Amino acid sequence: MSDSIQLLLFQLGARVFAARAENVRRIAGPSLERPEDGVESALGDPWDPRRGLVVEVAGEERTLLVDGVLGLKAVPDSDFQALPAFARDVLPTAALAGFAMLDEVATLVIDLPTLLREGKGAALAPSEETPRHA
Amino acid sequence: MPERNSAGRARVQKAPRRERGAAAIAAVLRAHAGGDYKKRVDLEGLADPELVAVARELNLAGKKAQERSDEVAARMEAVRVGLDEAINAMVRLVVHGDLSGTLRLAASDAALTPLIAGVAQVMETLKRFVREIRDAALQLSSSSAEVLAAATQNENSTSQQATAVHETTATMEELKGASHQIAENAQMVASIAEQTLSATRQGEGAIRAFMESMEKVRRNAVEVDEAIVKLSRRVERIGTVVEVIDEIADRSDLLALNAALEGAKAGEAGRGFSIVAAEMRRLAENVMESTREIKNLIGEIRESTHAAKEASDGNKRMAAEGERLGGAAMASVTGILSGAQGTSDAARLIHLATQQQRSATEQVVQSMGEIEEVTRQAQAGSRQATGAAAELARLAERLAGLVQRFKVE
């Protein structure tokens, strides 16, 4: 399976994001985890945080509260498009890894460890309209 | 006498002269017996002395009888004259009406004394009668005037009475019509009152049925309320169970996600694991979807039961209000029924009374008609009495005038 990547699809607010499955240590339910473990991110706040994505950051587990986990999907490498270099230089965050075509829809692939490490200060403005098609 | 005559005729036959003398005496005797006392026996023609003596005595007796007869005739003449005077005097008194004086006659024969006394007594009696008649005539005149005045007044009164009776009769006729109308109206009122009473009784029955229905509604509402409470508890119980199921499904979903995550991390080795996890997750999602639907249904049932509870509470309140209003209506209708009963009784009594009044009025009208007729007759009689009194007054005046002609003082 070297020619595909495993993406975890999650919903936060009104938008659907993707993240590499290997970056998620486990999925937690908010009722099972301590709410204070959830961290704010540049993706904005969830409406109804029912799931938490537990990520190891610098040897510690940090949880990104999300509205839901939609599932896991294997995406061919050809459907993943890394963020161009000039875009990485322009954007205030380094948590945006690239785009993946999921059912013909361009979905942002988030680098969760970077996102949780940056915190809310390197915000990816919620109002910004992220291009959904590469 | 026939025997003497036959004997004389025998002696004449024996002695003719003596017989002629006796015949002359006999002739004179027959004249005397016939009232002719002037007849005398011719003494010269008698030869027999005995006959002469007899003839002489006979002549003397005849003379005395003549004298006596003349005396009686004179007295008779005097009496006749006295009677004529008395009669003439009385006639004059009667004709002239003068009874004030006394009867004075020129004749003074003692035989007239009783006559004069009788006439005087008659005159006194006449005077007394005239006085009494005059007094009676005066009284009669006065009384007849009073009778006339009274009769006139009576006639006027009778006329006024007739007018009043006529007006009263007309009024009673109007009253009779009014009584008839009142009786009909009273009958109508009694009928309406009876209908009102009947309708009120029906209303009472309807309210009683309404109250029974309200009681049933209230009981049903209580039963529905209890059923809703039970249903609500069951729904809550179901909700609790669904929550548990939902939580289990969520945990299953979470486990399946983690399993899928682990399978994805394991690469090709975890592929089967990922498939099972995906299936588990699909089942969990199905369960959660079902529980969501159940929750939605429970929510709808809650809303419905809440609405039903409110409706049931409203029904209970409305039933209680209905019972209260029904009770008030029943109390009112009971009062109305009592009033309607009283009204019906009173209307019936009024109807009866008005019928009696109408009957009495008709009787009064009939009696007034009779009274009017009697009054009319009395009026006619009064007129006749007035006429008679006037005639009586005229007669009294005439009588008084006649009596005035007699002077008694």
Of A6, A27, A50, the CB nearest to B258: A27
For chain A positions 14-53, those within 8 Å of chain B (CB to CB) are 21-22, 24, 26-29, 31-32, 50-51
Task: Enter the DSSP assignment of B36.
Answer: -
Q: How far is CA B281 from CA A52, A72, B253, B259, B369, in A?
A: 17, 11, 5, 9, 121
Give the mutation candidate from A31, A67, A72, A112 for the B interface (greatest B CB count, under 10 A): A72
Q: What is the pLDDT of residue A30?
A: 64
Question: Residues of B with CB below 8 A from A71's CB?
Answer: 257, 260, 278, 281
Task: Give the closest-approach CA distance of B253 to chain A in angstroms.
Answer: 10
Q: What is the pLDDT of residue A126?
A: 45
Question: Residues of B with CB below 8 A from A50's CB?
Answer: 250
Q: How far is CA B358 from CA A72, B270, B345, B349, B366, in A?
A: 112, 121, 19, 14, 12
Average pLDDT, chain A: 81
The amino acid at B337 = L
What is the distance between the alpha carbons of residues A64 and A58, in angstroms, rounded to a whole number?
15
Q: What is the pLDDT of residue A127?
A: 41
Query: Which string of b and e fits B86-106 if b means at least 16 CB within 10 Å?
Result: beebeeebeeebebeeebebe
Query: Which string of b and e fits A73-111 if b means at least 16 CB within 10 Å?
Result: bebeeebbeebeeeeeeeeebebbbbbbbbeeebbbbbb
Q: Each residue of A51-87: pLDDT tens digit? A: 999 999 888 888 898 999 999 999 998 889 998 888 8
What is the distance between the alpha carbons of residues B326 and B209, in angstroms, rounded to a whole number?
10
Asked if the Cβ–Cβ distance from A27 to B274 is below 8 Å, we say no
Q: Is the pTM higher than 0.95?
A: no
What is the distance between the alpha carbons of residues B274 and B161, in angstroms, rounded to a whole number?
137
* Residue A132 pLDDT > 50: no
* Residue A107 pLDDT > 90: yes
Q: Each residue of A85-95: pLDDT tens digit? A: 888 888 888 88
Give the mutation candidate from A27, A31, A66 for the B interface (greatest B CB count, under 10 A): A27
Asked if the Cβ–Cβ distance from B281 to A71 is below 8 Å, we say yes
Of A24 and B44, which is predicted with more confidence? Answer: A24
Q: What is the pLDDT of residue B121?
A: 83
Question: Residues of A with CB below 8 A from B281's CB?
Answer: 71
* Tokens found for residue B80: 């006749």
Complex confidence, ipTM: 0.83
Candidates B71, B259, B291; CA nearest to A71 is: B259
Question: Residues of B with CB below 8 A from A31's CB?
Answer: 247
Stretches in chain B below the pLDDT threshold 50: 1-3
Within its chain, how far is the Cα of A24 from the centroid? 10
Q: What is the pLDDT of residue A122?
A: 55
Beta bridge partners of B322: none
Q: What is the pLDDT of residue A20?
A: 94
Instruction: Give the start-to-end residue ranges of the domains of chain A.
Output: 4-123
Of B261, B264, B281, the CB nearest to A26: B261
Task: Enter the DSSP assignment of B100.
Answer: S
Q: How many CA atoms lie within 13 A of B393 on its CB side?
A: 16
Question: Residues of B with CB below 8 A from A8's CB?
Answer: 261, 264
Q: What is the pLDDT of residue B336?
A: 84
Q: Which band of pLDDT confidence, cut at 50, 70 and 90, is reported for residue A26?
A: very high
